[in-house]
Structure 1
Amino acid sequence: MNFLSHYYFERYSHNPELVLGSILPDLVKNAAKEVNIQAHKYETKLGNNPKLNSLYQGWMRHIETDRLFHNAPFFYENTHELKLLLAPAVETTAIRPSFLSHIALELLLDHLLLENGLVNENDFYAYLTAADRDTVARFLKICDIPDTAFFFTYFDSFIRARYVGSYREFEQITFALINICRRLWQVVITADQKKQITASLRDYAKKMTGNFNLIFDEIGPLLP
């Protein structure tokens, strides 16, 4: 799941460290893809610090959320249908339609949460801004990341950009999809291909409206 979908499960927590922890695995990976933290190995080093333990709880809920999501029939069914829709638009490129459909589903879920008023990006960023930075740095160092500067450079830019709210617009989802693909492949996408992707996303979002929340209802009660 993407940022706002993880946030959905913590939106009433009033705990900024828990909220940040719930997206921290993805933030760290985006900041430095070679960094691979296995937080469960360091649980005993956290002590009784409530903020450290909130970060850890959020982190572990993130891991479990992704595990449940990627193994749900909802995921398989929707990525398969999206793959069939999106494949013609990228058949002349190096992009794997299976990868594209996976990321597209996650961004569409964020879109639908925003469009249906189930999350608000301003609240999301307020939580992130309120999180204790010293605790975040300490958490990362406990997890054997001695130099945390790379993370906070990315984290600050993530907050400044405030781009998750742009997922209300299908053109912005297409833009994000292409940029993500460009991290893996050399990709040239024509204007017509972008329009084709955007139209497919718009049509599929209409199809998902009314039943997309079932996956959240399914996962929520299973989280630790």
Structure 2
Amino acid sequence: MNLLAHYYFSSKQGKHWYNAGLLFPDLLKIFKSKIHLSKIEKTNFENSEITDLKYGIASHKAVDKVFHNWQWFLSKNHEILNKLRKSKLNFERDWVLSHIFIEMAIDCYLSAHYSQVVEELYNDFEKCNNGIWKILFDKCEIDDFNRWESGLGNFLKIKYIYKYKDTSAIIYSLNRIYESTGIGKFDEKQNDYLLLLLIEILPEINYKISELKKIIE
């Protein structure tokens, strides 16, 4: 799942460090951090905040496992992949795209219908003391705190998850993801086709959100 979905399905009121842990693995990838989750998981911390963060990370991994084995996701992933290939638009690494596309589509739906949850997500991160993040990186002996601090600062300043409610913003984000992996941008016809697929899948997500919530809980 993507950022907003992890928060929507698993966040706990008043547990901002736990909630930060729900997004932490994905943010590390986005910020291109050198720190590995295994290093954090194997390190003992005296701080209750970091302990909560680790519980959030564990929840992230457990929920991802459930989501990726959810029958609707598996069947929809196969369906989207077939549509991408039948389009004859030559999508690179289409098996990766179909997976990411579904996750981003769910965030698009959630952002459009639960703006308060987006606000709570950002509020939780703003409550996380920067000094605790520094302790985390220092304890793991990874000289990467500045990269994390800069990435988190931009994340809290731009607040791009609010934009996920706009379908065109989802297509833009998919382009950014593909660019970051070195594949490159989609062309105009590919963008238009992805937008059509997104508009097509959103009503179905509306009916599947409650099912996924029950499975995760």
Q: Which 5+ residue runs of structure 2 have no aligned equivalent?
A: none
Equivalent residue number for residue 41 of structure 1: 42
Equivalent in the alignment of 2:49: 51
Structure 1 residue 140: Cα displacement: 2.6
CA RMSD of aligned residues (A): 2.0
Aligned counterparts, 1:31-180, within 5 A: 31-32=31-32, 34-38=34-38, 39-42=40-43, 45-47=44-46, 49-88=47-86, 91-93=89-91, 95-117=92-114, 120-180=117-177
Instruction: Give unmatched runs, 5+ long, in structure 1.
Output: none
Query: Does 141-150 or 167-176 show the bigger shift?
Result: 141-150
- Calculate percent identity across the aligned residue pairs: 21
For each residue in 1:78-122, what CA deviation from the matched residue of structure 2 results, as whole angstroms up to 9, or x when unmatched? 2112222333557334x2111111111111111222233385222
Per residue, is there more helix in 1 or in 2? 2
Structure 1 76/16 Cα, relative in aligned 2: closer, same or farther at 3 Å? same
TM-score of the two chains, using structure 1 as the length reference: 0.87
For 2:45, give the aligned amino acid. L
| Mapped partners of 1:90, 1:33: distance in 2 | 36
2:24 maps to what in 1?
A: 24
Q: Distance in 2 between matches of 1:118 and 1:79?
A: 27
TM-score, length-scaled by structure 2: 0.90
Q: CA, structure 1 residues 34+82, in 2 after alignment: closer, same or farther (shift >3 Å)?
A: farther
* 1:30-66 Cα distance to aligned partner (Å, 9 max, x none): 2125542213212xx113x221211111111112111
CA distance in structure 2 between the partners assigned to 1:67 and 1:119 by the alignment: 27
Question: How far off is 1:71 after superposition?
Answer: 2.4
Matched length: 216
2:7–2:22 CA contact under 8 A, matched in 1? yes
For 1:183, the equivalent position in structure 2 comes to 180
Would the alpha carbon gap of residues 209 and 87 (structure 1) be closer, same or farther in structure 2, given more than 3 Å must change?
farther
CA offset digits 1:136-177 (Å, max 9, x no partner)? 221233233244111111111111111111111111111111
